[in-house]
Structure 1
Amino acid sequence: MGELLADLRAETDELDTMIQGLDPAAWELPTPAEGWAVRDQISHLAYFDDAAVTAATDPEGFRVTLPAFLARGDSAADEIAASTRDLGPARLHDWFREARARCLEVFARLDPGTRLPWYGPDMSAASFVTARLMETWAHGQDVADALGVVRIPTARLRHVVTIGVLAIPYGFAVRGLPPPPRPLRVELTMPDGSWWTAGPVGAPDLIRGTALDFCLLVVQRRHLDDTFLEVRGETARTWAGIAQAFAGAPGRGRAPLASGISQGRTRWSGSCST
């Protein structure tokens, strides 16, 4: 738990550095998420950090509000973003910092195995922290794209990779599809050049490539066509089109970039050891 929290702090610091000192106009820059500016990415994280604190400190109270929230479906996140657009940049930045600090403090007191409610299946406290890191990295990517910042992949991607693999069945279930009929083999190159693997050796369904590409796919920040991931097998191809590492309603995903893979990879060339 200590390692997870340290990595979440580091991921938070990286995002905080990106938004520190932005002028008001930069907060309104559009991000790749349709209709969302930089400010909306930050308010989203702050709102769900507060929700995470409620889930940890008042799980029964959280469960009471859950059906109404889930009934809003895809519109919930957009409604939250719209409801916070009257906050100025300074107040919004303070909210993010304060909400994240409360989240870190509360989860530091929990046993890693404590089960907590969330918008998908219940999770352990350790998985909860991993999910907050994944969300921070994913929304941080939208901010980075809006600001023209190229982030250097770190070892923290292992957490996003792990949750992405564990969520393979969820991508099917959240869409009402039957479980994947065959196991997937995942073979990834981490930023330090080491290998990360999961699934049975020799499985006919395979996802292979860099951890960065895999993470961008599972958090729906890049279309499969804008990665160099190798996808073999019908089950793997189906999953690659619906991959979703985050809880809640099925994500809309991202359309392929206008000029295809060359544009998608230009931003990242040289950023990841392969």
Structure 2
Amino acid sequence: MALVDGVVADLTAESGELDDLVSGLDDGEWTRVTPAPGWTIAHQIGHLAWTDEVAALAATDPDAFTAAVATALENPAGFVDAAAEQKASVPPAQLLADWRVARTALADALRQVPDGVKIPWFGPPMSAASMATARLMETWAHGLDVADALGVTRTPTNRIKAVAHIGVRTRDFAYVVNEKTPPAEPFRYELTAPSGELWTWGPDDATQIVRGPALDFCELVTQRRHVDDLDLEIIGDQAREWAGIAQAFAGPPGSGREAGAAGKGN
């Protein structure tokens, strides 16, 4: 449970930082367009609120979650956008209050999941720690969209190690969703944390290598920046191919961002 508590604490902190970013906005600012096509700041927060609500349901009432999935899959290609649109129509003060309730309920629920129990999800079932890590990754990525819309540069923290970890673990997933065969050879990842320490994954003697700032790597795998706009050293043909399709989030292949679009809010 110590692992779950630690990741949930990081998720809570990440959510709180984004809350601080939007809590002082007036109603007009909530309609600012973010880099995600068709999504305003309200859509971004609405998406997080909806997903946190559904994740809490999955952790506490699997049968009700199964019913919710069945309803969502009546519109398989559009239920995420539809949920964000519905949430974005709520007055901003209420939307923010709803998100606060949802994320608190999720944190409480994850701490109560017994060791070894898997939480059902739209993809494979996950442990409580994995669910918290996935929610942290999404909160960080959508928070970056909000920051871009507001023209704000956030100070990265070592919480992004969870994002980097998912980016490494989803290497093969990125190939599969793009109908490609994952390489047999493992990659080596060498990332410099915001604190200055070195985070590594993969064998020392790998020939396919990705190295550079952990922040840039996280922006790559969440498709918030184009690889050409990042300070990453990518060695090997397979690693370069992967960098063009890297995707830490579930679902079909993302469209990514155009080169030179970093930080643009429209």
Q: Which amino acid aligns with 1:164?
A: G
1:5-24 residue pairs with structure 2 within 5 A? 5-24=8-27
SS of aligned partner of 2:253:
coil
Aligned residues: 260
- Residue 171 of structure 1 corresponds to 174
Report the Cα offset of residue 167 of structure 1: 1.1
Give the fraction of aligned pairs with identical amino acids, expressed as a percent.
48
SS at match of 2:209: strand
Instruction: Using the TM superposition, give the Cα deviation of residue 172 of structure 1 relative to its aligned residue in structure 2, in angstroms.
Output: 1.5
In structure 2, how many angstroms separate the alpha carbons of the residues matched to 1:73 and 1:176?
Answer: 19
Residue 37 of structure 1 corresponds to which residue in structure 2?
40
> TM-score if structure 1 supplies the norm length?
0.89
Confirm whether residue 27 of structure 1 aligns to residue 37 of structure 2. Answer: no
Segments of 5+ residues of structure 1 without an aligned counterpart are: 259-263, 266-274
Give the match for residue 147 of structure 2. 144
Alpha-carbon distance between aligned partners in 2 of 1:72 and 1:188, rounded to the nearest angstrom: 39
1:53 aligns with one of 53, 56, 61: 56
Q: Where do 1:212-227 residues align within 5 Å?
A: 212-227=215-230
- Classify 1:112/1:161 alpha carbon distance in 2 versus 1 (closer, same or farther; 3 Å): farther
CA positional deviation for 1:21: 1.6
2:124 partner SS: coil
Cα offset, 1:74, TM superposition: 4.1
Q: Aligned pair in 2 of structure 1 residues 112, 237: CA closer, same or farther (>3 Å)?
A: farther
Contact 2:50 2:87 in 1 (8 A): no
- Tell me the C-alpha RMSD between the 2 structures: 1.7
How far apart are 1:113 and its partner, in Å? Answer: 3.4
1:74 and 1:250 mapped to 2: Cα distance?
Answer: 12
Q: Could you tell me how far 1:67 is from its partner in structure 2?
A: 5.5
Cα distance, 1:163 vs structure 2: 1.2
Aligned with 1:235 (options 214, 227, 238): 238
Task: Report what 2:93 is aligned to.
Answer: 90
When normalised by structure 2's length, the TM-score is: 0.92
Q: For 1:222-245, what per-residue CA distance to the aligned partner results, in whole angstroms no more than 9, with x for missing partners?
A: 111110111111221121111111
CA contact (8 A) 1:117 1:123 kept: yes
CA distances 1:144-184 after superposition (whole Å, capped 9, x unpaired): 01111110110101111111111111111223322223211
Q: Which amino acid aligns with 2:48?
A: L
**Which position in structure 2 is the counterpart of 1:63?**
66
Kept after mapping to 1: 8 A contact 2:50/2:84: no
